[in-house]
Chain A
Amino acid sequence: MSNVNGKRFLKPGKYLMMGNVAMAEGALSSGLKFFGGYPITPSTEVIEHLAKRLPEVGGCCMQMEDELASINAVMGASLVGAKAMTATSGPGLSLMTETISMAANIEIPFVFCDVQRCGPGTGFVTVPHHNDVGLTRFAGNGEFEVIAFAPMSCQELFDLTITAFNYAETYRSPIFILSDAYLGHIHEVVNIPPKEEILKRVIDRTIPEDTTGAKFTYEDINTHKLMIPKPYIVGTEFCPPLIIHLPHNQDGILMPEENSLRFMKIMIDKIRDNIDKISLTEEYKLDDAEIIIISYGLPVRASYRAVDIARKKGIKVGIFRLITVWPFPKEKVKKVVAGAKAIIVPEMNYTGVIAEQVERVTDLNIPVIKVPKVATLHHPDDILRVIEEVAK
């Protein structure tokens, strides 16, 4: 791009930006210092853009030998206090799961961008398919909770990437951005806010003044609340003597085997306890809605239109949008679906990963209708047709 100045922040204003580039710029704005990646269609623009931009801001962009190396390098960089991320697609993600699981254990923050493509196997590499939604939730061995964002426009790719980095610093859990082959390659107008506004939103990686405190999440003895300290940094005083990915206590010291359950509880509950703060959702014309559309990512755009048309025809329909797909906001959805006539879940996959989650919290007599699409986008008419059928 010709209008990029060589600094961390772009000049405020409007840009015609590709989705992948918008995400990369969002990461730079939040202070990205290290990117490790391996080229894989359709995420290559992220590494291409950062290879040019990161050295400009004094960061490092490395093309590693494979996906395993890139995620491990990202973890290494994050260990020494750099904000780090990687970008890949489904096949790369499945290789990286081992390290994601380890990072969850030692509570290393990093952001992981998954530009999804059509699978399984190599599949069609240039078309979208939200088939990693389930994989991200269960990425890696062991039990841990992840946070996953599902943006639906280039502007959101920019904004949510900043939020994702903040979440990584706050909750110290693997953070995913679920983009896809279309969203990654669409050019849209992105409005870049002024530097001061971005800086106000960004949480920096700093070490606390008191470096003797806990380094890992722990349960406060008095309040029984889970406390998540700031991430430790190797190479400073604020670092445990040993970083080990076995069940450990707040100082990184091994737990006896019989205490593993307590450790698991901490791993999982640090996200679940904060679900109200973490989970971002959006409601559209839900107040009197009888038919509810629950969706995320690109299908939401088509759903908005379908709802507008259906409303004109007198059908009471609304949208509940998941901006964070994981952790699944069980209680919120339960409240939304109570008393609904039917629920429609348009998803860009055949299984309906989120539809299954919705079914879990819905009464048995309320039908949950999937609208699957693979490799193409939902047209508003696809959703409208289902709405009309249900409303009959």
Chain B
Amino acid sequence: MSDDVRYPSEKPEHPYFDSSFSGMLLGTLVSRFCGGCGYGSIGQLYTRVFEDEKLDPKLYPLVIGIGCYSQIFFLVHKNAQKMLTLHGRAPAIATGMKMANPKMKPIIFSGDGDCLGIGGNHFIHLCRRNLDCILFIFNNSIYGMTGGQAAPTTLYGAMSTTTPYKMFEPRSDGVELALAAGASYVARTTVAHPRTLMKYFKKALKHKGTSVIEVITPCVTYFGRKNLDNLGSKGEKGEIMDTGGKMFEWIKKNSIHINQAKFMSKEELFNKYIIGEFRYNPSKSEYSEEYKKIQNIAMKGD
């Protein structure tokens, strides 16, 4: 080993240390997420994009729904103007904000129960209007905050506290719903693909229209610990997913890229997540711009 190779005497400073941990403002530095949870990564990724893109906090308010992820406000960029809203109503509040101040581009954090359960209607109509905003759906296929009940997105065969035998309902698919409702940018990725997530987020920031990004994220405490990685299907030996690592592996294994999925049968895709970009349509008319035209017509008339 030659002499000119130097090792730093201490760890390099965390480049986003100053901007993350808005918890400092609230007097606590403790993340409230369980071990293995994906929301910490998501908060950090949001902060990185926010910092890298130098977003103006006044124009990019963060609207947070209700769920486990609500606690993310402890982790995201300290300058972001964050508001905690009601369960499922975040898209409606963002609609009001955007229309009262069209310069804004609200970023909405919502969960699977939030957006596909209680707030399904608001989600559909947000996509229908193609209002300029970014909607994240954090899909951990379980209701984490209330203690592990089944969500509309819970996979077939999974155990939860309200499906103690097994989940038998068909699941709802946020991406399919967004596509049908008319969102102009729709993508799905997972926490196990953080760079893709950042790429989609940055693309959504430049896109004018509703961007829906579904993020598959692990819940070890209420989903992983109670389920085998084959979700109880017969004939296969499953392994219980009781650590974050195992859940990350499972998510990677269970996610299939859209290009690959084209060549797979329905049976093969059962209980799988298809990831990738599903639609990118920048030419679709955006609601607040359309409304501006209506205002111009109204103002011109007597």
Please tell me if the beta carbons of B26 and A254 are within 8 angstroms of each other in the complex.
Answer: yes
Q: Which residues of B contact A221 (CB under 8 A)?
A: none
As a 0/1 sequence over residues 315 to 346 of chain A, the CB contacts with chain B under 8 angstroms (1 = contact) are 00000000000000000000000000000000
Please tell me if the beta carbons of B92 and A79 are within 8 angstroms of each other in the complex.
Answer: no
Please tell me if the beta carbons of A236 and B58 are within 8 angstroms of each other in the complex.
Answer: yes
As a 0/1 sequence over residues 43 to 70 of chain A, the CB contacts with chain B under 8 angstroms (1 = contact) are 0000000001001101010101110111
Interface flag for A269 (CB, 8 Å):
no
A79 to chain B, nearest CB (A): 6
Q: Which residues of A contact B26 (CB under 8 A)?
A: 242, 253-254
Q: Which residues of B contact A80 (CB under 8 A)?
A: 61, 96-97, 100-101, 104
Chain A residue at smallest Cβ distance from B90:
A72
Chain A residue at smallest Cβ distance from B297:
A55
Question: Complex formed: what's the CA distance from A66 to B122 in Å?
Answer: 9
Instruction: Count chain A CB atoms within 10 A of each CB in B25, B58, B85, B295 and give the residue with the most.
Output: B85
Please tell me if the beta carbons of B298 and A73 are within 8 angstroms of each other in the complex.
Answer: no
Chain A residue at smallest Cβ distance from B124:
A65
Please tell me if the beta carbons of A75 and B93 are within 8 angstroms of each other in the complex.
Answer: yes
Per the CB 8 Å criterion, the residue count for chain A at the interface is 44
Interface size classification for chain B: 35 or more
Please tell me if the beta carbons of B121 and A84 are within 8 angstroms of each other in the complex.
Answer: no
Please tell me if the beta carbons of B299 and A55 are within 8 angstroms of each other in the complex.
Answer: yes
Instruction: Count chain A CB atoms within 10 A of each CB in B78, B84, B99, B291 and give the residue with the most.
Output: B99
- Residues 222-250 (chain A) with a chain B CB within 8 angstroms: 234-236, 239, 241-246
Please tell me if the beta carbons of A65 and B299 are within 8 angstroms of each other in the complex.
Answer: no
Interface flag for A134 (CB, 8 Å):
no
Instruction: Count chain A CB atoms within 10 A of each CB in B22, B104, B122, B301 and give the residue with the most.
Output: B122
- Residues 243-302 (chain B) with a chain A CB within 8 angstroms: 291, 294-295, 297-299, 301-302
Interface flag for B196 (CB, 8 Å):
no
Chain B residue at smallest Cβ distance from A73:
B96
- Residues 105-148 (chain B) with a chain A CB within 8 angstroms: 121-122, 124-125
Please tell me if the beta carbons of B86 and A98 are within 8 angstroms of each other in the complex.
Answer: yes
Please tell me if the beta carbons of B96 and A75 are within 8 angstroms of each other in the complex.
Answer: yes
Decide yes or no: A239 and B92 within 8 Å by CB, A55-B294, A254-B26 being known contacts.
no
**What's the dominant secondary structure at chain A's contact region?**
mixed
Please tell me if the beta carbons of A99 and B89 are within 8 angstroms of each other in the complex.
Answer: yes
Interface flag for A81 (CB, 8 Å):
yes
Decide yes or no: A82 and B100 within 8 Å by CB, A65-B122, A73-B95, A99-B89 being known contacts.
yes
Decide yes or no: A76 and B96 within 8 Å by CB, A234-B81, A235-B81, A242-B84 being known contacts.
yes
Q: Which residues of A contact B61 (CB under 8 A)?
A: 80, 234-235
Q: Which 5 A-B pairs give the minimum distances between C-beta atoms?
A: A76-B96, A73-B96, A72-B92, A55-B298, A77-B100
29 pairs of residues in contact across A and B, judged by CB atoms under 8 Å: A55-B299, A56-B298, A60-B295, A64-B92, A66-B121, A69-B89, A69-B92, A69-B95, A69-B122, A69-B125, A72-B86, A72-B92, A72-B96, A76-B94, A76-B100, A77-B96, A78-B100, A79-B93, A79-B97, A80-B61, A80-B97, A98-B86, A235-B81, A235-B103, A241-B82, A242-B82, A245-B86, A253-B26, A254-B26
B interface residues with partner A (beta carbon < 8 Å): 22, 25-27, 58-59, 61, 63, 73, 78, 81-86, 89, 92-101, 103-104, 121-122, 124-125, 291, 294-295, 297-299, 301-302
